[in-house]
Structure 1
Amino acid sequence: MEVKISLAPSLTCIQPDFASVVIVGGGVMGMSTAWHLAQRGVRGIVVVESHSVGGGSSAKPMGGVRANFSDPMNVILGQRSLEAFASFNEDFGVNIQLSRVGYLFLARNEDEAADLEESTRIQNELGVDSFLVGPERVAELNPFIDSSKVVVGAYSPEDGYACPAAVVDGYCRAAMELGVSVMDHTEVQGIETKAGRIDAVMTNRGVIRTEKVICAAGAWSAAIGEMAGHPLPVDPVRRMIGLTAQRPRAHPTVPFTLDLSTTFYMHNYYNGLLLGISHEEDVGFNREWSYCWLEEFNAAARAIAPELVTPDLEAGWAGFYENTPDRNAIIGASDIVPGFYYITGFSGHGFLQGPAAGEFMADIVLGTESFLAAHAYSAERFEMDSINTIEKYII
């Protein structure tokens, strides 16, 4: 689902001297937030993107969309975003290639099975259509899986995957129609404060006076937070996926499948397969694709999907997770620098939570009642001595 953004070659206009809001980052979070604000009547919004719109982390995710989480807040963000994805073509006139093949989590011991049972209970209480399935049903859903190794699976048939680039495209076009200025190849070089409040953003094109800055810079957010004077605990970590050769009618359609024990994952990629594993990586901005993850993937495949050992890969890509200490997003208003906001740190969940997260961010900026408490994902939680981990399995 690596689709090129189909906007004009350059979105850059003359940089305005003033803005009501400057959004740093032109990925799914920045563009979703821009559209949600503009759709409610906010004018004078400027989105600045250091490279091309949608060309950062939003260009390289797995494309999964789901409400199948173990934490209620993540369930709500995922579920609300799924609703937006389902109507995206109608609302924005953009085909995001939504494939609702379902999500299938695999438990291979009793502890994992108990966790899936509890997660499914939470999801069901919040209205998510998910349920436990036995090994026989797992084999029917995904014939690549050695079901004899599976204790139980958790299946959510309304989940699946979509095209991230198309979603960014849709939000970007719609935001621009509402008057949002989108400036690509525009790098933020500094953020000025006055009397402790946001006062201006300096870019390679000049100065934008503004009282509000929203950091939607993904893996690059820590630098933006430092410029503003509000630390953001976000680390860039490389993640890589591989794509098998396209073989028409050779592969059955399978759910987005994830093995809890090994973090092995897979789903269809047109007439091939997308394969990966959460390979251990050092923190850093290395985005070079390599085969270094294959040894770990092959070991996992031997245990759970023998047919996929040493897969016939013809392509792949590397992108960034934007990890926080508890592997959950930070969305909120700064308690340190008035006028500074952040929507980042999604730790691999960004694309799938983008529609609802942008709506939530807009609610916080405008001070309106939202579907979550305003401090639900606040960075203030990291100011405490202990970190409350609210998500056990991060894929």
Structure 2
Amino acid sequence: MSDKAEVVIIGGGIIGLGLAWQLADRGINDIIVLEKGYIGVGSSGRAPVIINQHRTRKEMITLAKEGVKTLEELPTRLEFNPLFRQDGSINLASTQEEFDEIRKNVGLQNSLGVKTELLEPHEIKELIPPINEEKILGGAFIPSDGIPNPYAVLFGHVNALTKMGVEIRPFVEAKKIKVRSGETKGVTTKNSDINAPIIVDAAGGFAGEIAKTAGVKIPIQPMKREVLVTEMLKSSIDPAIISAHGNFYLAQMLRGEFACGSTAAKDGDPTLDSSLEFLRWISRRVVELIPQFAYVKIMRQWAGVIGVTPDKKPIIGGVNGVEGLYLACGLGDYGFTFFPAVTRLLAEDITSGETPDLLKPFSPERFEG
């Protein structure tokens, strides 16, 4: 294996792989991607992926919109099928305050070109017949949202990158980012040193730990998210459901099973251990909303770790004081939604030396001082 590269990317999730493709597409092929486990071991492979544009900030909606467009184009662009099923998603409100907030967001989303419909309870009932209408006041429906297969997207990138000459090294953990005189010099792994002038920290929930080795402190907190999957059912619920009030989501996967998870990460427990507490909590929430799920069997549950920042926005861009070090982390559980735009913009930043305007709100500089 080569002991030098033009770019080393730490993290083989969708952000690391997506960035590698964007850089290779711009002519930088001397790239090494390091992943401490197997591809998909992190948050990219440990949660059902709901691509949704239900956002409250202009810049986040813009990123999400590009994410949907790119997933629609991936079969042509990278020559693989992401199995992207666009049945839409619906964000439900159970209180007047939630409904007022959703109504405001619908206006913003439509103004930015994301077609969003504000629905009354009876209209939601038409979309989701088994729903308990008494538990909802309304909701917002985005028909272009959908669910891809995360492993199809991950390994579609792996195959494309391999053809482009990018080197992907699974089961190789980055131990330290080497810095000398304010410049990155490479990465130390367990078995070797890799010299490189450009290092990208895309290590998800553990990005803060590797950044510390370069003398950089970033406020990213690793948090646990848990998921369960039911038995396969013949009856279908087409749109993915997001409950603002219950802090959970429910979505039917390609084979008919339903995935349910929390939209609120658990602080202070960045482990992969699933819990009985979560099982009881999510079961109550889902059955309250769709009573027939009281008779559905749960097949398995698991957990993943995501990285969350204090302002719930990602950290994307170069680091002041350490030339050649870039961060691409803090995307929480929306990495798949944002990866097309985030990786494209960061690749532009790295290759041109100029930060695109859309990236500026996510700069690491906002946490300085």
Q: Are 2:170 and 1:161 aligned?
A: no
| Match in the other structure for 2:241 | 257
Which residue is 2:261 aligned to?
Answer: 276
Q: How does 1:111-122 map to 2 (within 5 A)?
A: 111-122=97-108
CA change 1:192–1:370 in 2 (3 A) is closer
Contact 2:74–2:80 (CA<8 Å) still a contact in 1?
A: yes
Match of 2:203 among 217, 228, 252: 217
- Match of residue 141, structure 1, among 115, 121, 127: 127
Find out whether 1:292 has 2:277 as its counterpart. Answer: yes
Q: 3-state DSSP class of the match of 2:224?
A: strand
The match for 2:323 is 338
The reply on whether 1:19 has 2:5 as its aligned counterpart is: yes
Distance 1:190 1:280 in 2: 28
Shift of 1:376: 2.2
Letter in 1 for 2:41: G
Which residue of 41, 45, 48 corresponds with 1:62? 48
CA distance in 1, matches of 2:172, 2:184: 19
1:234 aligns with 2:220: yes
Is structure 2 residue 94 aligned with structure 1 residue 98?
Answer: no
Aligned to 1:348: 333
Cα 1:335/1:310, change in 2 over 3 Å: farther
Give the distance between the partners of 1:153 and 1:368, measured in 2 at CA.
Answer: 43
**SS of the residue aligned with 1:245?**
strand
- State how far apart, in whole Å, the 1-side matches of 2:46 and 2:265 are: 18
Partners in 1 of 2:169 and 2:160 — Cα distance?
15
C-alpha deviations, 1:195-219, integer Å up to 9, x for none?
1111121112311111110001001
CA contact (8 A) 1:61 1:351 kept: no
Per the alignment, in what secondary structure is the counterpart of residue 65 of structure 1? Answer: coil
Conserved? CA contact 2:45–2:150, under 8 Å: yes
Q: Would the aligned equivalents of 1:101 and 1:254 in 2 still touch at CA under 8 Å?
A: yes
For 1:225-264, what per-residue CA distance to the aligned partner results, in whole angstroms no more than 9, with x for missing partners?
10122112222211111111113x2x22321101111112
Q: Is the 8 A contact 2:177 2:211 kept in 1?
A: no
Matched residue type, 1:210:
A
Residue 82 of structure 1 is aligned with which of 68, 74, 77? 68
Q: In the alignment, what sits opposite 1:319?
A: 304
Matched, 1:267 2:251: yes
Q: CA contact under 8 A between 1:144 and 1:307: conserved in structure 2?
A: yes
Percent identical among aligned pairs is 27
Which is further off, 237-246 or 303-312? 303-312
Contact 1:67/1:159 (8 A) holds in 2: yes
TM-fit CA distance, 1:123 = 0.9
Q: Which runs of 5+ in 1 are unaligned?
A: 1-13, 385-395
Report SS of the residue matched to 2:66: helix
Q: Normalising by structure 1, report the TM-score.
A: 0.88
Match of 1:130 among 116, 121, 134: 116
How many pairs align?
368
363-372 or 345-354, which moves further after superposition? 363-372
2:185 corresponds to which of 199, 220, 232: 199
Q: Is the 8 A contact 1:70 1:120 kept in 2?
A: no
Aligned-CA RMSD value: 1.8
Unaligned 5+ runs, structure 2: none
Query: For residues 110 and 263 of structure 1, what CA distance do their matches in structure 2 show?
Result: 16
Alpha-carbon distance between aligned partners in 2 of 1:137 and 1:370, rounded to the nearest angstrom: 44
Aligned equivalents of 2:15, 2:345: Cα separation in 1: 11
Alignment of 1:298-317 (within 5 A): 298-309=283-294, 311-317=296-302
Task: Provide the rounded CA distance (Å) in 2 between the counterparts of 1:172 and 1:380.
Answer: 32
* TM-score, normalising length: structure 2: 0.94
**SS of aligned partner of 2:361:** coil
Matched-pair contact (CA < 8 Å) for 2:227–2:261: yes
Conservation of the 8 A alpha-carbon contact between 1:235 and 1:284: no
> Structure 1: which 4+ aligned runs deviate by more than 6 Å?
368-371
1:10-43, Cα deviation, whole Å (9 max, x unpaired): xxxx1x2221111001110000000000100113
Partner of 1:151: 137
> Cα–Cα, structure 1 residues 83 and 195, in superposed 2: closer, same or farther, change >3 Å?
same
> In 2, distance between residues paired with 1:233 and 1:72?
23
Q: In 1, Cα distance between the equivalents of 2:78 and 2:322? A: 35
